[in-house]
C-alpha cells in the first residue's frame, strides 16, 4: 500500500515536473523565435528603406535606380531584393539563387522558408526584400534540443529527489503500520515513535498514541474487571461447594444441615448482589424513561434510614442537614446510589466516628454531600475510587463485606441523571463525597 502511494505521488510529481519543463521550454523557444523574426523584420525594413531611397524619378518621368555594389549582392545575412515597375516589369534583383517571385501586397510574409517584405516606393515602384530563414530555424532547433536535454536532466534529478523525499515523508506511515501490527498481535504497549509536534505528522502520531493509551487502559480495566468479577463469584461458589460436600459426606443432624444451608443462602445472596451490580454496570442500565421530580433532601433522609441500623451497631453518630432541593431523577436509582455512599461511610469509619449528610441548592445545582471521619483514601488512589472492584487500601478489603462495586454503581447512576460526582479525602482524617445535578425550580 505504501509503495503504491509512493508510486502515485512520484507519478504526479513527474507529470507535474514534465509539464512545467515542457511549458517553460516551449515558452523560451517561442519567445526566442519571435525575437529573431522581429530582428529579421527590422533588417528587411532597413534594406527596403535603402532600396526605396535609391529610386529617383527624373524630369522626363523616367526612373533612375542607382545601387551600390553592396546592394546588388545578397549579403552574409542572406538578404536579397527584387524591384519592379508599377506594371510588374522587373527592374533589378540581387545576385541570388532565389527564384524571383511575383509582386504581392505590401506587408510581411513567410514564403518557402523565407521571410519577405513587400512595399511600394515612388512612382508605384514595387520593392521586395527577403532572407532565408534556414539559419534561424537551425538556431531555434538547436535551442529546443538543448532545452529538452537540460529539462530531461532536471527531471531525472527531480525524480531521484522526489523518490527520496516521498520515502522520507511516508516513513511515519511505516512506523504507524508496524505499531498497529504489533498491537494487533497483542502488544498493547507498542507506541509510534514520536515526531516533531509542530508538524502535521507529529500531531497525528500524538493523537494516535493518545488513542492507543486509552485503548490499552480500557483493555487493562476490562481484564482487571473480569479477574475481580471472577474472584468475587469464586469465593461464594467455593463456600457453597464446601458446605454441600460437607453435608453430603455423611448423615447430619437437621440443625447442622440447617446451618449449612444458611451459609449457602448467604453465599447465594452475595453472588446475586454481585451479579446484579455487574449487569447494571455492563449494560449501563438506563434511568427511568419518564423521570419524575424528586426531593433530594427526602432521598437523603430515606438513605439514612436504610443504614441507621449499621451505623448504630458501629457506634457512629449520623447527622442530617437537608435543605430542600429538587431534581429530575428515578427515585429508586437515586436512593440506591446515595445508600451505597452512606454504606461505605459506615464500613470504613472509625470507632465513635461520625457521618454528616447535607443537601442544598447552589448556583442552579442541587448538591448532596456525605462527609465521614473514617480512615480516608490516599492521594494516589483517589482517581480510581469510582472504578469497579477498586480497593486501594488493605483496610478496604472484602472482609468488610463489600465487593468494590458500590461507588462504581453510584457514579453510573449520577451520570445517567446528568450529574457529577467527586471525592475528596485525607488519610486518617475522613472522606467527602459530593454529588451535583441540575436543579429544578
**Could you tell me the sign of the dihedral formed by the alpha carbons of 171, 172, 178, 180, in that order?**
negative
What's the pLDDT at 396? 47
Note whether 325 and 367 are within 8 A (CB): yes
Paired residues of 132 in beta bridges: 114
Q: Is residue 72 within 8 Å of residue 82, measured between CB atoms? A: no
Per-residue pLDDT 10s for the chain (441 aa) are 445 777 787 788 788 888 998 999 999 999 999 999 999 999 899 888 888 888 777 666 676 776 666 565 545 557 888 888 888 888 888 766 777 777 888 899 998 888 999 998 887 889 899 888 888 999 999 999 999 999 889 888 888 888 887 777 777 777 777 777 877 777 777 777 775 545 666 777 777 778 777 877 777 767 766 666 665 566 567 777 877 888 787 787 888 778 888 878 877 776 776 676 666 655 654 444 467 899 999 999 999 988 888 888 889 999 999 899 999 998 888 888 898 899 889 988 998 899 999 999 998 999 999 999 999 888 888 888 887 767 665 544 444 545 567 788 888 889 888 899 999 998 988 999 999 999 987
Helices 296-313 and 331-347, axial angle in degrees (round to 10): 30
Residue linked to cell 528603406: 49
Q: Tell me: the pLDDT tens digits for 370-384?
A: 999 999 888 888 888
Q: What pLDDT is attached to residue 274?
A: 66
Angle at 418 (CA atoms; ends 325, 306), nearest 5 degrees: 55
Q: How many CB atoms lie within 10 A of CB 40?
A: 22
Return the half-sphere exposure (C-beta side, CA atoms, 13 A cut-off) of residue 352: 0
What are the grid coordinates assigned to 279, written together?
449487569
Compute the distance between CA of residue 268 and CA of residue 197 in angstroms, rounded to an integer.
55
How far is the C-alpha of 123 from the C-alpha of 120, rounded, in Å? 8
109-141 burial: b if 16+ Cβ within 10 Å, else e: eeeeebbbbbbebeeebbbbbbbbbeebeeebe
The tens digit of pLDDT for each residue in 51-70 reads 888 877 766 667 677 666 65
User: Are 300 and 357 a contacting pair, CB within 8 Å?
Assistant: yes
End-to-end Cα spacing for the chain: 60
Give the domains, in start order, of the chain with CATH numbers: 2-137 (no CATH), 200-283 (1.10.287.130), 292-438 (3.30.565.10)
Q: Which residues are registered as beta bridge partners of 329? A: 292
Amino acid at each position: 500500500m505504501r509503495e503504491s502511494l509512493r508510486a502515485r505521488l512520484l507519478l504526479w510529481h513527474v507529470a507535474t515536473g514534465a509539464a512545467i519543463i515542457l511549458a517553460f521550454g516551449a515558452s523560451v523557444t517561442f519567445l526566442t523565435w519571435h525575437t529573431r523574426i522581429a530582428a529579421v523584420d527590422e533588417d528587411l525594413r532597413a534594406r527596403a528603406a535603402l532600396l526605396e531611397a535609391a529610386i529617383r524619378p527624373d524630369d522626363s518621368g523616367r526612373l533612375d535606380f542607382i545601387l551600390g555594389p553592396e546592394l546588388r549582392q545578397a549579403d552574409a545575412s542572406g538578404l536579397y531584393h527584387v524591384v519592379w515597375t508599377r506594371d510588374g516589369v522587373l527592374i533589378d534583383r540581387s545576385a541570388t539563387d532565389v527564384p524571383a517571385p511575383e509582386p504581392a501586397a505590401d506587408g510581411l510574409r513567410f514564403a518557402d522558408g523565407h521571410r519577405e517584405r513587400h512595399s511600394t516606393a515612388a512612382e508605384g515602384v514595387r520593392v521586395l526584400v527577403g532572407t532565408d530563414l534556414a539559419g534561424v530555424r537551425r538556431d531555434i532547433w538547436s535551442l529546443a534540443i538543448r532545452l529538452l536535454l537540460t529539462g530531461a536532466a532536471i527531471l531525472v534529478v527531480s525524480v531521484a529527489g522526489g523518490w527520496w523525499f516521498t520515502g522520507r515523508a511516508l516513513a511515519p506511515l511505516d512506523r504507524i503500520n508496524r505499531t498497529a501490527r504489533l498491537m494487533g498481535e497483542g502488544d498493547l504497549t507498542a507506541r509510534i515513535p514520536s515526531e516533531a509536534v509542530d508538524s502535521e505528522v507529529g500531531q497525528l502520531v500524538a493523537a494516535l498514541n493518545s488513542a492507543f493509551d486509552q485503548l490499552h487502559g480500557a483493555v487493562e480495566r476490562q481484564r482487571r474487571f473480569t479477574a475481580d468479577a471472577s474472584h468475587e463469584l469464586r469465593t461464594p461458589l467455593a463456600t457453597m461447594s464446601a458446605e454441600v460436600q460437607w453435608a453430603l459426606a455423611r448423615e447430619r443432624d437437621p440443625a447442622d444441615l440447617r446451618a449449612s444451608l444458611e451459609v449457602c443462602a448467604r453465599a447465594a445472596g452475595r453472588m446475586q448482589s454481585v451479579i446484579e451490580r455487574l449487569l447494571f454496570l455492563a449494560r449501563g442500565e438506563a434511568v427511568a424513561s419518564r423521570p419524575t421530580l424528586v426531593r433530594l433532601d427526602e432521598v437523603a433522609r430515606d438513605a439514612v434510614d436504610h443504614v441507621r441500623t449499621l451505623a448504630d451497631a458501629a457506634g457512629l453518630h449520623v447527622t442530617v442537614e437537608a435543605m430542600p432541593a429538587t431534581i429530575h431523577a428515578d427515585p429508586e436509582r437515586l436512593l440506591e446510589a446515595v445508600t451505597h455512599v452512606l454504606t461505605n461511610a459506615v464500613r470504613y469509619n472509625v470507632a465513635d466516628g461520625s457521618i454528616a449528610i447535607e443537601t442544598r441548592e447552589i448556583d442552579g445545582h442541587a448538591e448532596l454531600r456525605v462527609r465521614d471521619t473514617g480512615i480516608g483514601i490516599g492521594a494516589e488512589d483517589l482517581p480510581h475510587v469510582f472504578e469497579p472492584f477498586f480497593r486501594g487500601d488493605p483496610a478496604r478489603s472484602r472482609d468488610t463485606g463489600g465487593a468494590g462495586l458500590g461507588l462504581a454503581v453510584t457514579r453510573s447512576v449520577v451520570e445517567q441523571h446528568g450529574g457529577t460526582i467527586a471525592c475528596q479525602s485525607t488519610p486518617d482524617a475522613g472522606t467527602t463525597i459530593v454529588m451535583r445535578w441540575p436543579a429544578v425550580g
